[in-house]
Amino acid sequence: MKQFTLARAGTSIRLGQELGRGGEGAVFAVENHGDRVAKIYSVPPDARKIQKLFAMSEAATPALLRIASWPLDLLTDGKGAVRGFTMPRLVARRDIHELYSPKSRSEAFPDADFRFLVHVGANIARAFAEVHQQGHVVGDVNHGNLLVGRDGTVMLIDCDSFQVRSGTQVFTCDVGVPLFTAPELQGQAFRGLVRTANHDRFGLAVLLFHLLYMGRHPFAGRFSGPGEMPIDKAIAEYRFAYGPDRAATGMERPPGTIPLETMGAAIAQMFGHAFGRSGSNGERLDAKAWIDALETLKSSLRACSAASWHHYPGELPACPWCAVENQTAVRLFGQRIVAQGPTGTIDLATIWNAIAAVPDPGPDPALPSERPWRRPPGVEMLSKSLKIVRMVLSLGIAFAGLVACSGYRDEGGVWLTLISYALAFGVWPRVSVEKRAEAGRAWSAAKAEWELVLNRWRRGTSRQAFAEKLKSLEQARAELLDLPNERTRRLAKLEAERENRQRQRYLDRFRIDRAKIRGIGSSRTSMLASYGIETADDVDGPRILQIPGFGPMLTTELALWRRQHELNFRFNPKEPVDPGDVIAMNRDLEMRRQSLLATLRQGPDALRRLSQEITAARPRLQPVLEQAWTALKIAEARRDAL
């Protein structure tokens, strides 16, 4: 293998096997130096590049080497020309997008849960903070220059493209990816452009958003205005698809995604600063602020009661990952997490006997409204009967006067009629408007109090809560006893779906971001991923047509690409059901079994508590209920008597 000389050390090295190749050159192992590798350029670097590499090797501090594959020394050939450089060797690391994409995470990081993602996010922020602390700028931020290990540590790669400061000299970063480029730089030429740490902070925020929001790009969404809205255009126009002003900018986040506020108000506000117009004026928070925010988020995470491998911010009322999985049918975490088996011997009969032994609180007592009501002794009030008698008497006198008038057609008859009308008017019951209104208000208040007390009675004394809890325990017992049958049914289903599942696994090997599909570049690839379409198996015509910017032509291209791979699939009838599917099934059933057992074990105490609460509440609330009903009936009688 070819021999080179270390420029500063003056010693010779020999290259080992080729480890990888890119657009600029190739990376080789270094014989007798297992901790470093050599990058050899296909075209020898120019003088400016050599100056930059030399400055970087001079600036290779231990702190930088912990987070970046930084140039250590230049390599010269036999003629003294610089051909490349050495840098630390990285092992057992994967591209960051393999972690934040749910499908690739299932293979690359099967043990990862959300706590791990937040931990990695904080380490990414630490890497950026260190680069900025040394006066440098990453510049070409993208998910291809960041590797992550199984321990959650991260390393920046392709560091020779960074913007490096050496004294008064600035060696610019002359490349960039639009999907990670700040709005104020969109459309600008990168060659010779001096960037700032504030520009890096936009790219950092995009990386972190991908990580926390399951591989979604923050500017990939549905645009309600005319025309297409590709991601780079949305960035340039500050159309943050998850932001609080998304309605004003005509954007909406894709289906199956979580709201921005899921990670808490502080992190939501930080993303808002990073992606909003104020960020272009230098208001993007620095990497150290992200470290603090993510560490706070990590400390707040709690385990989901339904799926212990789900961890989510403790301030949320429910697990967001369960909702996303139910909506998308994609498992986000827990690919290789084994449910812990129950401890101790389980005697279901004993548990159920304890449940059945809890005393029933008995039927609900009759309500006062269901019994005849009698006026309490000592309570004075007007009689409605007296009011009716006076009304009848008044009408009778008036009628008698009318009859008298018709019998006596002289002056005496007229006077007799007038006198009878006067007597009728005097007998007729009369009540002032104010008094009648006061009685109406008293009745309304008594009715409201009765309804309030009645609701308290039903909540605290009704047997319904006890009956519903007992019914749920009966259902849990029946489901627990049926779990062996459920396992048989699921195994039969897996057996029946063997061909489809083999096809799915085969098609999942072909990722869109690694394919060459006509019309599908990095922006559209990111848009597809933001709608949950990452592999050939995800390609579905009607589903793709719903994605902004994807019409019949692009959909056809994707369908043809999928079809080409599908034609190469061969079903192997001798291949058994995938062990991974069986493990996942057993894990789900075991988690369900433990959940049902926990419910049943808590059943006696829960039922006993309900029974005791109901039994204690009835004598306590009975007088209050009776009093409220009596007050209502008295108010009603007084109102009707007026």
- Give the CA distances from residue 571 to residues 79, 501, 566, 580, in Å, rounded to whole numbers and listed in that order: 58, 10, 11, 18
d(CA 460, CA 25): 76
**What would the two tokens of residue 572 be?**
């192997």
Strand segments, DSSP code E, in 42-76 are 73-76
Helical H segments across 509-550, by residue range: 522-530, 541-545
Dihedral (Cα; 490, 491, 493, 496), 10-degree rounding: 180
d(CA 499, CA 493): 12
d(CA 86, CA 163): 19
Partnered with residue 76 across adjacent β-strands are 5, 82
Is 140 annotated as catalytic? yes
Q: Is the dihedral of CA 410, 415, 418, 420 positive or negative?
A: negative
**Which residue among 73, 113, 140, 537 is the active-site one?**
140
- Give the CA distances from residue 301 to residues 153, 208, 321, in Å, rounded to whole numbers and listed in that order: 20, 17, 13
Strand segments, DSSP code E, in 235-329 are 251-252, 301-303, 311-313
d(CA 115, CA 621): 48
Partnered with residue 303 across adjacent β-strands are 311
Helical H segments across 160-286, by residue range: 197-212, 231-236, 265-275, 277-278
d(CA 371, CA 22): 89
Angle between helix 197-212 and helix 287-300 axes, rounded to 10 deg: 20
Task: Give the residue numbers annotated as catalytic, written as ranges.
Answer: 140
